[in-house]
Amino acid sequence: MYTDQFAPYNFINEHGQLVGANYDIVNALCIKAEVECDFKVMPWKRAAMLVHKKPYSAIFSMAQHTNRIPLFNWLGPLTTARTYFYKLKSRPDVTVNTLNDTTLYSLGMVRGDIYQSLVKKIGFINGQNLMTFGEEQQYIQLFINNKIDLILGSEHVIYNQLKPYNVSLLDVEQLTELPVSNDLKDNYLAFNKAVPQHIVDRFQRAFKVLKQERSLGSFIAPYSNN
């Protein structure tokens, strides 16, 4: 089982342990399916490469983009999250009531971010109100220093996104939602197609039982504010 550092879904905690909402779900599925799972954490690009090369492997948390669908056998969604614009609460000059209002202000994101094409559709223009950077820390620092007005974040990820910069949820205000398709909202466990179908079926049955036992949303609760 390959995964990466993507809090609160899957990440290494301060004790060096793999934890997270999606890890907890997948680990529970391994137990229910009676399959011994070996979890490996690494950068996403390497994990995505290895899951194609290793025949008896799987990867999470993976978005089900259209071009990926034929490449894997899918299980999920594990968790679902909506994406919002955020501003600092200390910025009363930034007033957003509608989606179109967001284009009146500057937005920062990583260059090539999956949301870049979506915000361009609503009126953001590179170099004008859309500022793109090579690394997340570059635009987050500018946001904190009032040099950029808005950032985007998943409702589950935003806390962990801001935590390294000593910014809490009390310091930001959630604004309007960015409409995104389900293939960006949801994340999945994806199996290499060489994994025997009877193994995938065991996981699917375990997933069905797990959903009957408890809400998948309950797995995110322990990680939402810490």
pLDDT tens string for the chain (226 positions)?
A: 999 998 999 999 999 999 999 999 999 999 999 999 999 999 998 999 999 999 999 999 998 888 899 999 999 999 999 999 999 999 999 999 999 999 999 999 998 887 898 999 999 999 999 999 998 899 999 999 999 999 999 999 999 899 989 999 999 999 999 998 877 889 999 999 999 999 999 999 999 999 999 999 899 989 876 4
Other CB atoms within a 10 A radius of the CB of residue 3 amount to: 26
32: amino acid identity, one letter: K
Asked if 123 and 61 sit in the same domain, the reply is: no
Asked if 46 and 116 sit in the same domain, the reply is: no
**Token representation of residue 57:** 């492997």
Asked if 89 and 174 sit in the same domain, the reply is: yes
Pairing of strands 172-178, 186-192: unpaired
Asked if 96 and 137 sit in the same domain, the reply is: yes
**Token representation of residue 163:** 């935590």
In angstroms, the CA 129 to CA 207 distance is: 43
Asked if 200 and 165 sit in the same domain, the reply is: no
State the residue range of the domain holding 88. 83-179
Asked if 107 and 141 sit in the same domain, the reply is: yes
CATH of the domain at 163: 3.40.190.10
Output the DSSP codes for 21-55. HHHHHHHHHHHHHT-----EE--HHHHHHHHHH-T
Asked if 67 and 121 sit in the same domain, the reply is: no
CA distances from 86 to 75, 128, 159, 186 (A): 31, 19, 11, 20
Asked if 26 and 7 sit in the same domain, the reply is: yes
Q: Return the percentage of the chain with pLDDT > 90, whole number.
A: 81
Q: Structurally, how many domains does the chain consist of?
A: 2
Q: Of 148, 164, 179, which residue constitutes the final position of a domain?
A: 179
Q: Give residue 225's pLDDT.
A: 64
Nearest-10 crossing angle of helices 21-33, 197-213: 120
Q: pLDDT tens, 200-209?
A: 999 999 999 9
Asked if 63 and 25 sit in the same domain, the reply is: yes
Asked if 166 and 112 sit in the same domain, the reply is: yes
In angstroms, the CA 46 to CA 37 distance is: 19
Q: What is the pTM of this model?
A: 0.82
Q: pLDDT tens, 21-43?
A: 999 999 999 999 999 999 999 99
Q: Are 3 and 61 in contact (CB under 8 A)?
A: yes
Asked if 87 and 175 sit in the same domain, the reply is: yes
Asked if 204 and 163 sit in the same domain, the reply is: no
